[in-house]
């Protein structure tokens, strides 16, 4: 058995999420099927981030084991060939040791959330960013974001059906920056709770609109109650950027 | 009559080009119809760049005259409302003097051409950039681009059906820069010949692949023969960025 690490890009709109499931095509099943067509092996892919339906990836990391040795560039090109026309591509493939696990070895996961804040509806960014037509104060959002950094119980910022045993997580990075009409929220942590980034972004929008003060974020955190935070931002603004090991 | 200047974004894939025509929806006709639905006036839009089918715009500039005075934010929002669901949006509207002409007053037009240079097929940039899987040397392309800057007879770099009387144009900017797997070609001039940017980019690709040396660009220019230049790059990598007045 040889283990291979893949870096993967996909358009979340084309899939019902990363994970194999019954209600639509998944990134995992699409790539596993492409591997099977290439070499006949029924390999399982394990990913760093099991993204939800609609969430995009620019640098998803996954691994798989193959019985036969294969050239890594051939593996990349063949999987891409057999995955057509699904909106997914393997950017790179490399051999890794058996101790590498894309999900369990990851020490950091990096996400980007894109908001476009202008009056005009989205055109080239349609389905690629959250359209917010009311003015947002990105500096206030950034001040609010800072309240969440560190090791906390993030119960307020996880989906009610999140199945993680503990809601205690360490949030390493949460920043909000404006670049013209675009507002970018960067989030980094060893791991996130279910919908955590999208709930944090949906809540920061309240700060951006001036409905909340920045330190209301700390109050929502302390409440340990999903009802104390804001709505969940839509999936199509979210990008899995990469994982560190 | 009051004259209004609009800045417009559109996805070229949704249109048969800027100009009103018989073989498909045009940006011009879509916006003129939206204006008519808003205020009942049959206004004509004049644009800085009459882009081809498939070419995108991030900052197309156009003007129109309306008999009735209207608030500029209302004009922007109403045209956007009535243009739905076409992939076009008015980013801003402002009142201008009668001497402003979006096409004839423009002193500079700015274009961007996006190439993605990697082995993996495009996913999030599908239809938004030219996919070139063979390695390109961006520095050589930039050296080749420099050969075209200045006032020249650009006969070699215009479509054979270009109807401009003179092929003499002044190219102010033509640069090639690599940012990771993306190569960006910037082009600026008072005006361009038909397909000029796309033919320049298609020819620079030959330099990037090493099939041509950078100074072969000067030789192609001197030939004053369309057959001496390279193929026309596809429209979907091209963006009309803006016009200066």
- Note whether B236 and B127 are same-domain residues: yes
- Note whether B115 and B91 are same-domain residues: no
Alpha-carbon gap: B120 to the closest alpha carbon of chain A (Å): 5
Round the average pLDDT of chain B to a whole number and report it.
97
Contact with chain A for residue B11, Cβ under 8 A: yes
Instruction: Out of B37, B66, B96, pick the residue that ends a domain.
Output: B96
For B228-243, give the DSSP string.
GS-PPPPGGGEEEEEE
Q: Which of B27, B122, B124, B134 to mutate to test the interface with A (most CBs of A within 10 A)?
A: B124
* Bridge partner list, B3: B65, B96
Query: What local confidence, expressed as pLDDT, does residue B160 receive?
Result: 87
Residue B102 lies in a domain: no
Maximal CA-CA distance, chain B: 58
- Note whether B152 and B87 are same-domain residues: no
State the pLDDT confidence band at A162, using cuts at 50, 70 and 90.
Answer: confident
Query: What local confidence, expressed as pLDDT, does residue B163 receive?
Result: 87
Question: What mean pLDDT comes out for the span A154-181?
Answer: 95
Q: What percent of chain A has pLDDT over 90?
A: 96
Looking at beta carbons, which residues of chain B come within 8 Å of A119? 73, 76-77, 80
Residue A103 lies in a domain: no
**Counted domains in chain A:** 2
Round the average pLDDT of chain A to a whole number and report it.
97
Task: Write out pLDDT tens, residues A5-59.
Answer: 999 999 999 999 999 988 889 999 999 999 999 999 999 999 999 999 999 999 9
> Which is the catalytic residue, given B11, B22, B52, B71?
B52
Residue B101 lies in a domain: no
Q: What percent of chain A has pLDDT over 70?
A: 100
Residue A48 CA to residue A2 CA, distance in Å, equals 19
- Note whether A126 and A219 are same-domain residues: yes
Looking at beta carbons, which residues of chain A come within 8 Å of B123? 9-11, 87-89
Residue A82 CA to residue A224 CA, distance in Å, equals 46
- Identify the DSSP state of A238: E
Q: Which residues of B, range 99-158, sit inside 8 Å of A by Cβ?
A: 118-124, 126, 128
Output the CA torsion sign for B13, B14, B18, B20: positive
Residue B159 lies in a domain: yes
- CATH code: domain of residue A20: 3.30.70.580
Residue A134 CA to residue A119 CA, distance in Å, equals 7
Question: What mean pLDDT comes out for the span A133-146?
Answer: 98
Closest among A112, A117, A134 to A211, alpha carbons compared: A134
Residue A21 CA to residue A126 CA, distance in Å, equals 26
* Bridge partner list, B108: B244
pLDDT at A163 over 90: no
Question: What mean pLDDT comes out for the span A138-166?
Answer: 95
Of A9, A84, A90, the CB nearest to B124: A9
Closest among A132, A120, A180, A208 to B73, alpha carbons compared: A120
- Note whether A240 and A133 are same-domain residues: yes
Query: What local confidence, expressed as pLDDT, does residue A30 receive?
Result: 97
Residue A101 lies in a domain: no
- Note whether B125 and B230 are same-domain residues: yes
- Note whether A133 and A231 are same-domain residues: yes
Residue A219 lies in a domain: yes
- Note whether A115 and A47 are same-domain residues: no
Instruction: Out of A96, A121, A156, pick the residue that ends a domain.
Output: A96
User: Which residues fall within 8 angstroms of residue A58, CB to CB, at 6 or more apart?
Assistant: A9, A112, A239, A240, A241, A242, B124
Q: How far apart are the first and last CA of chain B?
A: 22
- In chain B (245 residues long), the average pLDDT of successive 10-residue segments reads 97 95 92 97 96 97 96 98 97 98 97 98 97 98 98 96 92 98 98 97 98 98 97 98 98
Domain span at residue B224 reads: 108-244
Residue B114 lies in a domain: yes
Query: What local confidence, expressed as pLDDT, does residue B112 receive?
Result: 98
- Note whether A207 and A240 are same-domain residues: yes
Minimum CA–CA partner of A12 in chain B:
B124
Minimum CA–CA partner of A128 in chain B:
B124
Query: What local confidence, expressed as pLDDT, does residue A59 receive?
Result: 98
- Note whether A131 and A229 are same-domain residues: yes
Query: What local confidence, expressed as pLDDT, does residue B33 receive?
Result: 97
**Reported ipTM:** 0.92
Instruction: Out of A68, A96, A124, pick the residue that ends a domain.
Output: A96
Minimum CA–CA partner of B8 in chain A:
A120
- CATH code: domain of residue B128: 3.30.70.660
- Note whether B87 and B149 are same-domain residues: no
- Note whether B148 and B184 are same-domain residues: yes
Query: What local confidence, expressed as pLDDT, does residue B3 receive?
Result: 98
**Partner-chain contact A118 B91, CB within 8 Å:** yes
Query: What local confidence, expressed as pLDDT, does residue B141 receive?
Result: 98
Of B76, B123, B124, the CB nearest to A120: B76
Residue B91 CA to residue B72 CA, distance in Å, equals 11
What are phi and psi for residue A133, nearest 5 degrees?
-80, -15
Of B88, B90, B123, the CB nearest to A88: B123
Contact with chain B for residue A56, Cβ under 8 A: yes
Residue A177 CA to residue A8 CA, distance in Å, equals 26
Task: Write out pLDDT tens, residues B92-128.
Answer: 999 999 999 999 999 999 999 999 999 999 999 999 9
Query: What local confidence, expressed as pLDDT, does residue B161 receive?
Result: 87
* Bridge partner list, B110: B188, B242
Residue B198 CA to residue B131 CA, distance in Å, equals 14
Of B11, B84, B124, the CB nearest to A56: B124
pTM to 2 decimal places: 0.95
Active site includes A52?
A: yes
Residue A102 lies in a domain: no
């Amino acid at each position: 058995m040889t283990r291979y690490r893949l870096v993967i890009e996909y358009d979340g709109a084309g899939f019902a999420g990363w994970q194999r499931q019954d209600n639509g095509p998944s990134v995992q099943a699409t790539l596993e099927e492409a591997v099977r067509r290439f070499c006949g092996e029924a390999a399982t892919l394990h990913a760093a981030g099991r993204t939800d339906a609609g969430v995009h990836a620019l640098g998803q990391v996954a691994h798989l084991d193959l019985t036969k040795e294969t050239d890594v560039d051939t593996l990349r090109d063949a999987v891409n060939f057999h995955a057509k026309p699904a909106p997914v591509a393997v950017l790179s493939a490399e051999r890794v040791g058996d101790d590498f696990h894309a999900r369990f070895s990851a020490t950091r996961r990096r996400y980007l959330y894109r908001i476009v804040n202008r009056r005009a509806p989205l055109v080239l960014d349609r389905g690629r960013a959250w359209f917010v037509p009311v003015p947002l104060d990105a500096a206030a959002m950034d001040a609010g974001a800072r309240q969440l950094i560190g090791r906390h119980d993030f119960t307020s910022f996880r989906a009610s059906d999140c199945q993680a045993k503990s809601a205690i997580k360490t949030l390493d990075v949460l920043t909000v920056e404006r670049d013209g009409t675009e507002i970018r929220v960067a989030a980094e942590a060893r791991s996130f709770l279910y919908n955590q980034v999208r709930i944090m972004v949906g809540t920061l929008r309240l700060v951006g609109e001036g409905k909340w003060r920045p330190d209301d974020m700390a109050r929502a955190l302390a409440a340990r109650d999903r009802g104390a935070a804001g709505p969940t931002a839509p999936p199509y603004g979210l990008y899995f950027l990469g994982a560190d090991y």
